[in-house]
Amino acid sequence: MTTLIEYLHRTIAVSDRLQQEIDRITRQRTVEKGQYLLRAGERCDVLRFVEQGLLRGYYIEQEKEITNWLAIDGEFATSFYSFITREASTESIEAIETTVLSEIKYADLQALYRDFPETERIGRILTENYYIKLEGRLLASHFKTAKERYEQLMDAHPILLQRAPLGYIASYLGISQETLSRIRAQY
Which spans of this chain sit near a second copy (rule: CB under 8 A)? 61, 66, 68, 80-81, 84-85, 113, 117-118, 120-121, 123-124, 127-128, 130-132, 134-135, 137-139, 141-143, 174
Judge residue 185's burial from the number of C-beta atoms within 10 Å of its C-beta, 0-12 exposed, 13-18 middle, 19 or more buried. Answer: exposed
Partner in contact with 179, chosen from a second copy, DNA, none, beta carbon below 5 to 8 Å by kind: DNA
Q: How far is the CB of 153 from a second copy (least distance, A)?
A: 14
Partner in contact with 29, chosen from DNA, a second copy, none, beta carbon below 5 to 8 Å by kind: none
Query: Per rule CB under 7 A, is residue 70 in the interface with DNA?
Result: no
What residues numbered 137-156 form the site for DNA, per CB under 7 A? 145-147
Residue among 33 and 86 whose Cβ is closer to a second copy: 86
What is the CB neighbour count within 10 angstroms for residue 101?
Answer: 23
Q: How far is the CB of 177 from DNA (least distance, A)?
A: 5
Phi, psi (rounded to 5 degrees) for 78? -140, 150
Partner in contact with 118, chosen from a second copy, DNA, none, beta carbon below 5 to 8 Å by kind: a second copy
Residue among 20 and 145 whose Cβ is closer to DNA: 145
Of 86, 77, 41, the residue nearest 57 (C-alpha): 77
With b for 16 or more beta-carbon neighbours within 10 A and e for fewer, the 38-61 pattern comes to bebebebbbbbbbbbbbbbbbeee
89 pairs with which residues across the strands?
A: none
Query: Per rule CB under 7 A, is residue 175 in the interface with DNA?
Result: yes
102 pairs with which residues across the strands?
A: 28, 49
Q: How far is the CB of 176 from DNA (least distance, A)?
A: 4
Q: Which DSSP string do the residues of 72-106 spell out, in sequence order?
A: ETTEE---HHHHHH-SBPS-EEEESS-EEEEEEEH
Partner in contact with 106, chosen from DNA, a second copy, none, beta carbon below 5 to 8 Å by kind: none
Binding site for DNA (CB under 7 A): 145-147, 165-167, 174-182, 184-185
